[in-house]
């Protein structure tokens, strides 16, 4: 269902206010061939109405001939900014960059952020943006969860389906994604609402069993039959199962890069307004699956690079896997039990949902 420009402009105003945009600041809107026109015009309208100096930088797409998917996260590495010092200079001279193109996992992004420029990415459909406008409450909840990760030295993930994965922590920081950029040099993604970190290099061991209903991204598919991934010394060494396991194996093998199989970020979703079922209602090419990454209580893990957290591993392949019904334990303290976040908000929501399930039953 479409949203009005008025509603989307108001959503942008809320996000820009949370991002501490001030009159007189310079905002550069970064766009590409797939930028949604309504998102673009409403972003410019909102920022301009708030007194910002607004520029638009439109760049041509790259990597399409190398990728098996049209998803903007399906092939990482070179970006339209690679070898483009004029474009980089324009972005570094901005107070705020609104990334409507998808600039991720690149040294150019780090260079821009290092100078204090803030970058906010927003590439989901307008109605998703309006449904998932971030709040101060989102920031508080994600920040509290990040403190738990920073204090821990191990993360242990289990499930009744057979997952039993242990990851050592401490080499990399906890990353907070709450949907706005309120500090100089901060990157974030609207919509979001989750916490993550990267395990110590070479120190993830165990097995992950993907059960029915778990999600493969960027394939944007619900798992039909269990997939078993065996992990040793920080890398996935075997992917076993039926047809979807074959597809995942072939897809990852197409990159011809052993670093594609490294365990990347690990964490859990904290966004109650994001929904696991969203993939069932949308065409694959219309979105990048942020509901799947953020829905409350998921265990979100990935394979691929770690340079977003300051590591040295880069690879064009990045697989995100949100899982349901997992238990996540930091040291000896569970933060998620069977898909229920163990903070005050998560436990209260679980009680309400249990009551509704009783009525339906």
DSSP 30-91: EE-TT--HHHHHHHHHHHHHTT-EEEEEE----SGGG-SS--TTSS-S--TTTT-HHHHHHH
- Biggest CA-to-CA distance, the chain: 61
Cis peptide bond N-terminal to 218, omega within 30: yes
| Domain of 273, in residue numbers | 136-360
Q: What is the tens place of the pLDDT at every residue in 212-223?
A: 999 999 999 999
The reply to whether 108 and 152 lie within a common domain is no
Would you give the distance in Å from CA 196 to the centre of its chain? 9
Q: What is the DSSP letter of 14?
A: H
Residue 36 gets the label, from left (phi > 0), alpha (psi -120 to 50) or beta, of: beta
The reply to whether 165 and 100 lie within a common domain is no
The reply to whether 239 and 317 lie within a common domain is yes
The reply to whether 246 and 287 lie within a common domain is yes
The reply to whether 211 and 81 lie within a common domain is no
d(CA 9, CA 25) in angstroms, rounded, equals 18
| Domain finish residue from 131, 146, 170 | 131
Residue 65 gets the label, from left (phi > 0), alpha (psi -120 to 50) or beta, of: alpha
d(CA 182, CA 195) in angstroms, rounded, equals 17
Q: CATH number, domain at 48?
A: 3.40.50.2300
Q: What is the dihedral of CA 297, 7, 283, 218, to 10 degrees?
A: -50
Cis peptide bond N-terminal to 27, omega within 30: no
Positions in the chain short of pLDDT 50: none
DSSP 118-160: EEEE--S-HHHHHHT---HHHHHHHHHHHHHHHH-SEEEEEET
| Domain finish residue from 81, 101, 131 | 131
Sign, Cα dihedral of 56, 57, 63, 64: positive
3-state secondary structure of 273: coil
The reply to whether 120 and 154 lie within a common domain is no
Q: What is the tens place of the pLDDT at every residue in 150-195?
A: 999 999 999 999 999 999 999 999 999 999 999 999 999 999 999 9
pLDDT of 246 reads 98
Tally the domains of the chain: 2
| Domain finish residue from 102, 131, 160 | 131
The reply to whether 115 and 60 lie within a common domain is yes
The reply to whether 102 and 159 lie within a common domain is no
pLDDT of 360 reads 57
The reply to whether 112 and 205 lie within a common domain is no
Q: What is the tens place of the pLDDT at every residue in 311-342?
A: 788 888 999 999 999 999 999 999 999 999 99
pLDDT of 311 reads 78
What's the pTM value of the predicted model, to 2 decimals?
Answer: 0.94
Per-residue burial over 303-322, b = 16 or more CB atoms within 10 Å of its CB, e = otherwise: bbbbbbbeeeebbbbbbbbb
The reply to whether 213 and 341 lie within a common domain is yes
Select from 103, 46, 41 the least CA-distant residue to 77: 103
The reply to whether 97 and 238 lie within a common domain is no
The reply to whether 145 and 89 lie within a common domain is no
């Amino acid at each position: 269902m479409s949203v009005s420009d008025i509603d989307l402009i108001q959503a942008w105003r809320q996000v820009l206010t949370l991002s501490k945009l001030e009159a007189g600041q310079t905002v550069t809107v970064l766009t590409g061939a797939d930028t949604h026109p309504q998102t673009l015009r409403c972003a410019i309208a909102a920022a301009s109405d708030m007194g910002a100096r607004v520029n638009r930088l439109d760049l041509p797409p790259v990597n399409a001939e190398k990728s098996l998917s049209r998803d903007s996260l399906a092939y990482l590495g070179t970006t339209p900014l690679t070898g483009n010092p004029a474009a980089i200079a324009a972005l570094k001279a901005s107070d705020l960059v609104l990334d409507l193109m998808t600039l991720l996992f690149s040294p150019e992004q780090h260079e821009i952020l290092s100078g204090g420029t803030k970058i906010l990415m927003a590439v989901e459909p307008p109605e998703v943006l309006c449904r998932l406008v971030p709040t101060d409450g989102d920031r508080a909840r994600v920040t509290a969860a990040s403190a738990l990760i920073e204090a821990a030295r191990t993360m242990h993930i289990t499930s009744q389906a057979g997952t039993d994965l242990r990851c050592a922590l401490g080499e990399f920081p906890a990353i907070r994604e709450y949907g706005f950029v309120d500090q100089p040099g901060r990157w974030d993604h609207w919509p979001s609402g989750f916490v993550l970190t990267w395990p110590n290099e070479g120190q993830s061991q165990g097995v992950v069993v993907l059960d029915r209903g778990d999600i493969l991204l960027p394939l944007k598919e619900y798992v039909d039959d269990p997939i078993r991934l065996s992990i040793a010394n920080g890398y996935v060494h075997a992917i076993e199962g039926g047809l979807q396991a074959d597809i995942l194996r072939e897809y990852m093998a197409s990159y011809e890069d052993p670093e594609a199989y490294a365990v990347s970020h690990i964490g859990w979703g904290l966004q109650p307004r994001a929904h696991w079922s969203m993939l069932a209602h949308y065409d694959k090419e219309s979105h990048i699956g942020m509901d799947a990454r953020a829905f409350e209580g998921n265990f979100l893990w990935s394979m691929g690079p770690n340079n977003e957290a300051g590591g040295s591993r880069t690879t064009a392949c990045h697989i995100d896997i949100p899982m349901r019904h997992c238990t996540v334990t930091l040291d000896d303290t569970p933060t998620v039990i069977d898909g229920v976040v163990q903070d005050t908000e998560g436990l209260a929501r679980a009680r309400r949902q249990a009551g509704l399930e009783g009525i339906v039953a």
